[in-house]
Structures are given as C-alpha cells and as structure tokens.
Amino acid sequence: MRETASHDKASIVGQALGRGVTRSKQMAMRWMPKAAENGLSGACYEIAARMYFDTPYAHEVGLVVEAAGVASSAGVIRGHDVPPDVLTSVVHWLRRGRYPLDHIDVFRRQALEGGKYCHNEGCEVVGQLKDFKVCPQCKTARYCGDACQKQDWNAGGHKGTCGKSAPH
C-alpha cells in the first residue's frame, strides 16, 4: 500500500512538472527518479530530456556517476554539444526507460532549433543552448543575459541555491 502511494505521488508530481508553481519544480524533479524506479518509463524519458537540455534541477537528480556499459555507449555518440558525463546520464535514463538511443538525435535536433534555457522563471527568450551564458559560480544555471541573471540572483532564489548542488 505504501509503495502504491509513493508511486501515485511520483506520477502526479511528474505529470505536473513544467505546469506547476515555481516553488514545486525542484520538488517535482526530485520525485522523477522515484517515479522511474517505480516503473514509469515516461519519467526516465523526462529525466533524460531535462539532463540533455540542462534544465534547472536536472543535474541534481539525474546525473549518473557509474552505469555498466553506458559510458562506452555514450563515448561513441558524436556531434552533441553536451558534456560527456551528461551524455552518459542521458543514455542511462533512456535505456532504463527502454527507449531507443535514437531519441538522443531528437534531443540534438531540438537543441539546434532552440528553446527556453534561461534559468530565470519569467524569461521567454528562445535561443540555442550554447548562446546562454552559464553562472560563473555553480556552472549549472544558464541565462540569456545579465538582466535575467541579476533578477534570478536577487528575487528568483538562485542566490540561496548557487553552489549547493554537486559540481559536474
């Protein structure tokens, strides 16, 4: 009964990811691995995609340090503008969710088309991942410009979380 309640909560939070209140996005990302462990392949796909696109909080929960046979698979994949440890984690989560590895090419096409990568919650700027500057302290949060970085530092809460997640 307890496992079912955990599974249901993980499903609800996982489905709400991206549509919830700003405060709940970090909590939703933390529930994603639990949902994946409970057999929700969609959660595995979400973690993989959010790792690839470097969305806030994804590295906190999705980074895989060691995974048997995954590093060698990730090592032969070429043409992706993401760090090797991130690519290894993406391969791990896709395999765990039983998704074909060609989804990585879908991620790459989407990244080249552009997206909303600014860590500042209210920002609507769309661009390529490589065009967003990275926070010089934590190296995880990305911003479209100085104004968004300053706003997120002062009012968005990045000041309180910067440097508290594991470095990559």
What string of pLDDT tens digits covers the 168 residues of the chain?
A: 444 444 454 444 444 444 443 445 677 778 888 888 888 889 999 899 888 887 767 888 888 876 666 655 555 576 677 788 888 888 889 988 888 888 888 888 887 787 777 888 889 898 877 788 888 887 778 899 999 999 999 888 888 888 764 433
Burial class (CB in 10 A: 0-12, 13-18, 19+), 149: buried
The pTM of this model reads 0.57
Phi-psi region of 18 (alpha: psi -120 to 50; beta: other; left: phi over 0): left
107 phi and psi angles, rounded to 5 deg: -60, -45
Q: What is the pLDDT of residue 134?
A: 84
Per-residue pLDDT of 17-59, as tens digits, reads 444 434 456 777 788 888 888 888 899 998 998 888 877 678 8
Alpha helix stretches (DSSP H) within 17-143: 22-37, 41-52, 58-62, 70-75, 84-96, 103-113
Q: What is the pLDDT of residue 25?
A: 65
Domain ranges of the chain: 1-113, 114-168
In DSSP terms, 115 is beta-bridged to 127
